[in-house]
Amino acid sequence: MAKHLRLVKTMAETAGPSRLLIVSDVITATQYISFLQPLQALAEEGRMRLFFEDCPRTAAASEAMFQATAPDCLVLSRCTLPGGEPLVKLARQHGIPYIYHIDDDLMRVPESLGADKFRAYNHPARLQRLANFMNNADLVYASTGPLQLALRESAITGNIEAGEIYCAIDSAALLQPMTATSPVIGYMGTSGHFNDLLMILPAVERLMDAHASLRFELFGTIQMPQSLARFGNRVMSHQPDPNYAGFIAKLHSLGWWIGLAPLEDNAFNRCKADTKWVEYTTAGIATVVSDMPVYHRACGNGCGTLIPDGGDWFETITLLLRDAGLRRQSVERARARLHDGYNLTQLQQQVLAMLAKASAIARAQA
């Protein structure tokens, strides 16, 4: 039980659940972003207790976990392993609400994410288990409206609610931008986003050829394209920090002038949230993104730069590299939008509303 948020304060009365058991195949930044960040203040006040656990491998381990945590709400977050099934049964036996949380269309994972992920997520047994988890939940908490619709298209019949926002920030804790002394552009992502990076690789190579002092950096598990090796020490990869707070601090310390977020226009990506924009903006980095609906709310009115399909990434990035005022204005506008529409108070209210609705549904069905 290594991933508990343990509290010593007396538990206060709350309208909804106060002891949440949050289980995923493997606990990652997803669960930090979605539950720990918005609920941590309540936990520190003693009003909630949160338990974050990797999915057990046996029914006996599930039973032990349930007894040890004594939850009054079960949340399966991106859980697809068989160990989730005993937990759902235990939740039903104890009459507590059960929420399934999902932030990608795991019913339709494309081959572009890599052959291994494609095979694993599209295994018939795994797909059936995932569908059962959602159809048997009191509430399915989807990260975006498009994801909610996609799940309906996949014949998920449970109660599906979509969040207004996914990733939020503590606007009171924003650090000042830390701009590098020489120009640097970067891309942050996991290995599954290699095809997204390839979309703009020709523009990146042109930029590196055109600007002798320009550096290009990657941050995350994504691999550096071989074609960029010719630029020597002007290209660099930074390994991710498994701790999300450390990840954001590291991103801030890189001092990128511009953060890139290309995104292939496909059904899977259209269900995604605008997380990269939130993270780049939090770090004080001007953002250039693909012109897709996922980024429209965030990047409108100069809060980011949208590049349409077939648009010129080279010219747009060149303009931003040459105009410090334009970059600064974009970051300032984006941070104002973060403060007004992506803050932790809003996300906390959203999560509490999901918990309350799941509780009401569970009571009605008891």
pLDDT in tens, 155-208: 999 899 999 999 999 988 888 999 999 999 999 999 889 999 999 999 999 999
3-state SS of 253-310? HHCCCEEEECCCCCCCHHHCCCHHHHHHHHCCCEEEEECCHHHHHHHHHHCCEEECCC
From CA 225, how far away is CA 218, in angstroms rounded? 10
> Please, what sign has the CA dihedral across residues 201, 207, 209, 212?
negative
Asked whether the predicted pLDDT for residue 7 surpasses 70, the reply is no
Q: Which region, left, alpha or beta, applies to residue 157 given φ > 0 means left and ψ of -120 to 50 means alpha?
A: alpha
From CA 326, how far away is CA 61, in angstroms rounded? 55
pTM of the model: 0.92
Give the DSSP H or E segment for 118: helix 115-121
CA-to-CA separations, 235 to 192, 194, 262, in angstroms, rounded: 20, 16, 18
Asked whether the predicted pLDDT for residue 6 surpasses 50, the reply is no
From CA 102, how far away is CA 147, in angstroms rounded? 9
Enter the tokens of residue 26. Answer: 């493997």
- CA distance between the termini of the chain: 30
Closest CA to 43 of 64, 63, 17: 17
Asked whether the predicted pLDDT for residue 11 surpasses 60, the reply is no
DSSP calls for 312-342: -HHHHHHHHHH-HHHHHHHHHHHHHHHHHHS
More confident residue, 171 or 314: 314
Residues linked to residue 169 through DSSP beta bridges, in sequence order: 343
Length of the chain as a residue count: 366
Rounded percentage of the chain residues whose pLDDT exceeds 70? 96
Please write the tens of the pLDDT for every residue from 93-147: 999 999 999 999 999 999 988 899 999 999 999 999 999 999 999 999 999 999 9
